[in-house]
Amino acid sequence: MQFGYKTILNINYTDKMRHTKVKDLLNSTTTLHEVNAKGWVRTFRNNQFIALNDGSTIDNIQCVVDFENTADETLKRITTGAAISVTGTLIESKGAGQKFEIQVVKLEILGDSDAEKFPIQPKNKPSLDFLRENAHLRVRTNVFGAIMRVRSVLSFAVHSYFQEKGFVYVNTPVITGADAEGAGEMFQVTSLPLDDLPKNEEGSIDYKKDFFGKQTNLTVSGQLEGETFAMALGQIYTFGPTFRAENSNTSRHLAEFWMIEPEVAFNDLHDNMDLAEDFIQYVIKYTLDKCPADLKFLESRLLEEEKSKPQADRSELALLDKLNFVLENNFKRVSYTEAIAILRECTPNKKKKFSYIIDEWGADLQSEHERYLVEKHFKCPVIVYDYPANIKSFYMRLNEDGKTVAAMDILFPGIGEIVGGSQREERYDVLIEKMKVIGIDEEELWWYLDTRKFGSAVHSGFGLGFERLVLFVTGMTNIRDVIPFPRTPMNAEF
């Protein structure tokens, strides 16, 4: 059997052959054997060379078609985006940049793609904005294929870390009557008819007639429920969707995102910081080991993107160097009081370059302040701890000074806050007093307060927004690009 420059062995090709992933074909150690591959056409050149990708790897495999013996009608259907099946012989490639290719004996079109209408064409490099509008197809591109594979591996690494440490995975409710943050920025859940809402004698909405008999919302955090399980199982973690009805149309906010929230009995604030640092370093190392090709590609993409930026705005470290830097350096730990002193005296603050000027102790740190501490002052990841009580949540343990709480935030370059956590207030009387001050009804959280009545103990935990972690590891700059279908203000497409 003759295919141009190489004679191939006579092989009996069967119709029911199991297909092999492109990743496995490219990593093959043997050639001259019969293979079947299925995937989507990225490009088709000279009526002969198909670049085929099945999503298993950033790399395509070249499939060489015997166009002289292939029907014109079939050749015309080999278009970008089409799903195909190819059967042939895996051989060493003489082309540059590829180890193997498939000499095609049989080709089947599984699903056509109209070349005129398919929105993602290789010749016209689509913008990230355009791809967000086509989120259902953007994963067909190298960039989003790489991001989603990295996201998948990071997700597995989260479970791997906690399972190896003996944590129990707990699924906390998505629908809840409790607001963990006390912020009120929640999506309400109701089965009441919106065009004819039942009213009580006071003229307010009668939630007793709602599905749950009370007002309920989508959860902003599984922390409070997680604490109750930690006080029985010792160490638990949650990893699930959370929702914030913040009207924040920025590159750092989503209305629906995933949160990782461990809670550990008998851990104090310093144990909590140790756990968070160890966890982050583990999942980054795991992903570096499992996704070298995807991360290398994303690094190249980032370097190309930064060429258009002024030198001062470019990253000091390439993506892989930045990830390794996090692994090789301990996180700098600094109190809020010390951080405020640094920020108050820094040049951007004195020259009023910050949008939010730091004048006095008690100011809430903004992203610009967090990034200054990480990127300019310490030049490494930073953990800020012991924040003013009045800018943090009610459940954080009040320190002996009476004005700060045992809270901590982990700050990363390019991201700002990536982790927020605290030692939880285990003292019943102190917790009750804090709830009264901000107006949280004791009856609504009676079950949470029970954990402080029956065997209360020191315990701590933190929350890590998974998408911000993916953002850091992939080097992307917009959080909408690291979740399959972003939910943002005025956007619930797909």
Q: What is the model's pLDDT at position 272?
A: 98
Closest CA to 103 of 236, 10, 169, 217: 10
Task: Determine contact, residues 255/489, Cβ cutoff 8 Å.
Answer: yes
Q: What is the model's pLDDT at position 95?
A: 76
> What is the Cα–Cα distance from 396 to 245, expressed in whole angstroms?
23
Q: What is the model's pLDDT at position 179?
A: 67
CA dihedral 283, 140, 58, 122 (to 10 degrees): -140
Task: Determine contact, residues 490/480, Cβ cutoff 8 Å.
Answer: no
Task: Determine contact, residues 224/173, Cβ cutoff 8 Å.
Answer: no
Q: What is the model's pLDDT at position 415?
A: 85
> In degrees, to the nearest 5, what angle opens at C-alpha 410 toward C-alphas 241 and 270?
105
Q: How many residues make up the chain in this entry? A: 494
Burial (Cβ within 10 Å: 0-12, 13-18, ≥19) of residue 400: exposed
Closest CA to 244 of 261, 258, 223, 224: 258
Write down all domains in the chain, each with its CATH number in brackets: 2-111 (2.40.50.140), 140-185+220-481 (3.30.930.10)
Task: Determine contact, residues 230/461, Cβ cutoff 8 Å.
Answer: yes
Q: What is the model's pLDDT at position 180?
A: 62
> What is the Cα–Cα distance from 291 to 5, expressed in whole angstroms?
35
Task: Determine contact, residues 120/134, Cβ cutoff 8 Å.
Answer: yes
Query: What is the DSSP pairing of strand 332-335 with strand 175-176?
Result: unpaired
The whole-model pTM stands at: 0.92
Phi, psi for residue 122 in degrees, rounded to 5:
-65, -30
Which are the contacts of 479, defined by CB distance < 8 A and separation ≥ 6?
251, 252, 253, 254, 257, 467, 468, 471, 486
DSSP class of residue 304 equals: H
Per-residue tens of pLDDT for the chain, all 494 residues: 444 434 344 445 445 679 999 999 999 988 888 999 999 999 999 999 999 999 999 999 999 999 999 999 999 999 999 999 999 999 999 877 788 999 999 999 999 999 889 999 877 789 999 999 999 999 999 999 999 999 999 999 999 999 999 999 999 999 998 766 555 589 999 999 999 999 999 999 999 999 999 999 999 999 999 999 999 999 999 999 999 998 888 888 899 999 999 999 999 999 999 999 999 999 999 999 999 999 999 999 999 988 888 887 777 789 999 999 899 989 999 999 999 999 999 999 999 999 999 999 999 999 999 999 999 999 999 999 999 999 999 999 999 999 999 999 999 988 889 999 999 999 999 999 999 998 888 988 999 999 999 999 999 999 999 999 999 999 999 999 999 999 999 999 99
